[in-house]
Amino acid sequence: MIQPARIKPNIRHRQVDLELGHFDNKLPSLLRKIYLGRQIFREEELDRSLAGLFLPNSLKGLEESIGLLEEALEQQQRVLIVGDFDTDGATSTALAMLALRAMGMKYVDFIVPNRFEFGYGLTPEIVDIAKQRNPDLIITVDNGISSIEGVIAAKEAEIKILITDHHLPGPQLPAADAILNPNQHGCDFPCKNLAGVGVVFYLLSALRRRLRETGWFEGNDIVPPNMAEWLDLVALGTVADVVPLDHTNRILVHQGLLRIRSGRSRPGLQALLALADKDPKKLVATDLGFIVGPRLNAAGRLDDMSIGIACLLENDPSTATEYALQLDQLNLERRKIEAGMQEEGVAILNHLEIDQKTLPWGLCLFDSNWHQGVIGLLASRIKDRVHRPVIIFADAGGNDDTKEYKGSARSILGLHIRDALEAVATKHPGLVSKFGGHAMAAGLSIKAKDYSTFSEAFDLEVRRQLTPSDLEAEIFVDGELTPEELNLQNGLLIRESGPWGQQFPEPLFQGTFYIASQRIVGEKHLKLLLSVDSNQRQLIDAIAFNVDMNSWPDEKKEKVQIVYKMDINFWQGRESLQLIVESFIL
């Protein structure tokens, strides 16, 4: 048996035509090349001010949505927000609660479905729970576009429904009173990549404008809220949901980061950063994705996202810290579970009677002990290892014919995973109980007895849509830096020129260095001291995380060729250039 090894990526240089750029002459040449490599050609695309945002007017369903909220305010109806159990859902819920209260809504509350009992979205079971609160209006955030049965149940209970979502719709839309989703058919809003929290931000910003025009605030002695006050939540939800950082999302994230850095973020967010020993003044977008997001997500993965929402809503710093401590503990537990599942997942791969050539193109894995809340993370890890679409399944309970598996899917460039699931469901009616998601991530449910049939059908669909070259992992680099360009000033320049993230990747460079020293730190991280020449006239710190302990340290190696990011090491009040090694080439 030949064990399937981790895919070794091919290194590709980004193609840059300097003649295409129309930038201010003051823009440094290094940044000019970096932006052109990301298809940014005009100066206005670099505008990160709120003035650069699209107006919400072209959002389909905006007038109907505002009308429902105006009516709820004027009549002081009972409003119930139904959220989702990830960070985007938590920030969407918190933003809606805070903004509606600030606009004068007296009776507004929220519920979040427990993923283990009710699954995702506005289901009939969630409507039954919602009815106990006697709502006049239910607002879904970050969900609802596929909640056909749930909306029917709510309408039968004479509850009005406002759906705000960003997930891709199916062929049938729920019969809600209003739907706000930039991805619904017939919506002309230019930015299709808003996270759920971005959709809520646009809706409430438009509501605030309408209320000012009608004299609501003045007539009720209310100070009109500043929507920018909650951009920290918008930035957090946008980054954590890994939506593409197009121009609109870069503006939202950048403005949110400015608030956090200036100390004007929510107490709960400040508490989470403090627990991670992260200085808010030095925060970048990736910190939201790797430090704050996982701690909030841990609540939804292992327990109840209500804890995370309560943390974001809390105004008292000491109470917010108590919530943050609970989230931090849940995250530690999540990491232990994930680490064990990752070992088991790799072990399953290694024991399959297949090699890299016979590995399924669309890979499905199942273990009865895997935790439903962590299968998405495992799918991402395995996808990165084998570079092909992966679906990880967990036991969702039931007996005999009713027994179900829940799956979490992650894809690679070239395969729209939600559309692939729809294709499988269309070709095999009844095989997929339900599904939904985006291009790169999706969720689904199947009957346990259909696992083998589904696995084969999924693999065939992936093979139909992809080519062998699609399964070759690639790393795109922004070229090589000269010794003169490898300096602290350029490191700081790149750090402040984002925000970097999904489909607007942080710059990567390729280079060959001499190794002056090497040692393991933190159990499995390789700390390096590198030099651009053998005379060690220019020494640079570098670190490679989670290295193969069978290969490193290697005292025989005198030179190394690496793909790296430029980063800044902040230590005892000093700043120094540090390279983050993404891949070893040689």
Interval 82-112: pLDDT, tens: 998 899 999 999 999 999 999 999 999 999 9
Question: How many angstroms separate the CA atoms of 504 and 492, rounded?
Answer: 18
Query: Does the pLDDT of residue 286 top 50, yes or no?
Result: yes
Element (H, E) at 81: strand 79-82
Percent of the chain clearing pLDDT 70 (strictly above): 97
In whole angstroms, what is the distance from residue 229 CA to residue 194 CA? Answer: 19
- Mean pLDDT is lowest, of 54-63, 188-197, 402-411, 546-555, for 546-555
3-class SS at 530?
strand
> Which pLDDT does position 550 carry in this prediction?
84
Q: How confident is the model at residue 355 (pLDDT cuts 50, 70, 90)?
A: low
Would you give the distance in Å from CA 342 to the centre of its chain? 20
**Tokens, residue 494:** 């790149």
pLDDT attached to residue 4: 44
Identical fold, 50-328 and 475-584: no
pLDDT at res. 302: 83
Report DSSP letters for 396-465, one per residue: ----GGG-EEEEEEE--TT--HHHHHHHHHHHSTTSEEEEEE-SSEEEEEEEGGGHHHHHHHHHHHHHHH
pLDDT for 6 equals: 59
Q: What are 487's two structure tokens?
A: 């300096």
Name the fold adopted by 352-471. Diaminopimelate Epimerase; Chain A, domain 1 (3.10.310)
Question: How many helices (H) and strands (E) are present in the chain, helices listed first?
Answer: 18, 17
- Amino acid 3: pLDDT: 40
* C-alpha to C-alpha distance for 499 and 529, rounded to whole angstroms: 28
pLDDT higher than 50, residue 347: yes
Q: Looking at residue 398, what is its pLDDT?
A: 82
Query: pTM to 2 decimals?
Result: 0.91
CATH class of domain segment(s) 50-328: alpha beta
Q: Quick check: 372 pLDDT over 50?
A: yes
Q: Which residue has the higher pLDDT, 465 or 348?
A: 465
**More reliable by pLDDT, 15 or 248:** 248
Mean pLDDT of 8-13: 84
Question: For the residues 41-67, what does the mean pLDDT come to?
Answer: 96
**Burial category of 495 from C-beta neighbours within 10 Å (exposed 0-12, middle 13-18, buried 19 and up):** middle
Pick the CATH number of 475-584 from 1.10.3720.10, 3.20.20.70, 1.20.1050.10, 2.40.50.460: 2.40.50.460
Query: Per mean pLDDT, which range of 175-184, 221-230, 335-344, 477-486 is the poorest?
Result: 335-344
How wide is the angle at C-alpha 305 spanned by C-alphas 304 and 310, nearest 5°? 115
- The tens digit of pLDDT for each residue in 376-400 reads 989 998 998 899 999 999 998 888 7
Based on the number of CB atoms within 10 Å of its own CB, is 209 exposed (0-12), middle (13-18) or buried (19 or more)? middle
How far is residue 391's CA from residue 501's CA, in Å, rounded to a whole number?
24
**Per-residue confidence (pLDDT) for residue 38, from 0 to 100:** 94
What is the predicted pLDDT for the residue at 352? 66
Across 122-126, 457-461, 554-558, the highest mean pLDDT is recorded for 457-461
Q: In what order do the strands lie in the sheet with 108-111?
A: 108-111, 79-82, 137-141, 160-164, 178-180
Domain ranges, ordered by start, for the chain:
50-328, 352-471, 475-584
Mean pLDDT, the chain, rounded, equals 92
Q: What is the model's pLDDT at position 533?
A: 87
Q: For 574-578, what is the mean pLDDT?
A: 93
* Interacting residues of 148 by C-beta distance below 8 A, sequence separation 6+: 172, 174
Cα–Cα dist 425/376, whole Å:
21
Residue 224: both structure tokens together:
């009109």
